[in-house]
Structure formats: structure tokens, C-alpha cells
Amino acid sequence: MQNTPADHRTYRITWSAEDGEYLALCAEFPSLSWLARTPQAALAGIRKLVAQVVADMQANGETPVQPLADRQFSGEFRVRIPPHMDRALAIEAAEQGVSLNRLVSAKLAA
């Protein structure tokens, strides 16, 4: 298969008990899905659908979302939490002898 921008997208195939078929999804286009009897057919279907959507967007002068695989991530993000939670986490970090950042990173990884 030819290497197209759709090939860099993040796909997931899962079984849909409700539909009795495999469900294919694309993380960059959460409103799109494809059902098929085999995982391979589901993947082929969603890839084709995404390629059509991207081509249609480009033809209309729209810029499709950049594939997650092609993005650069800094490893940083901000989260707003209530002050009481901030205090509780700071106390827990101090009790464990680690930085607040390390404590929260460990909790996110769990």
C-alpha cells in the first residue's frame, strides 16, 4: 500500500459485542469508525475512510489534524486542581521524600 498521510494516523481495532463485528477507530478523527467481520478488513476500511476525509478536507482548503505519530511532545502539561488537593499532594510528596512532580508522575503512570 502506498505511504499516505493517513498511514501515520493512530488506529485501534476492538471487538464490538453490540455489533458482532470488529470496530476500527482513528484517534485523530474520533467521530469516524468502521465495522467489519475481520480485524484486517476493519483496519483497511477505517484507513480508506480517513484517507477520503483528509483528501476532502484538503480539497476544501481545510487543514487536517496532524497525526499523533508526527507530533513532538514536550513532556509537560498543566493541570488545575483544587487547592486542598494541591496541599494533600504536597504533603504526600514531602512524606515520601520526593518532589511533587515525581509523585504526580508516578500516580499518572499507575
Whether 57 and 17 map to the same domain: the answer is yes
Phi, psi of 108 (to 5 degrees): -65, -35
Please spell the DSSP secondary structure of 13-48, one letter per residue.
EEEETTTTEEEEEETT-TT-EEEESSHHHHHHHHHH
Q: pLDDT digits over 22-32, tens only?
A: 999 999 999 99
Q: Which domain holds residue 92?
A: 73-109
pTM flag (> 0.85): no
Q: pLDDT digit string (tens) for 38-50? A: 999 999 999 999 9
Residue 73, all three cell numbers: 511532545
Residue 46 and residue 95 share a domain: no
Statement to judge: residues 29 and 61 lie in one domain = yes
pLDDT digit string (tens) for 79-97?
Answer: 999 999 999 999 999 999 9
Q: Is the pLDDT of residue 6 over 90?
A: no
The total domain count for the chain is 2
The answer on 98 and 53 residing in a single domain is no
In the predicted model, what is the mean pLDDT of residues 8-17?
Answer: 97
Q: Do both 86 and 49 map to the same domain? A: no
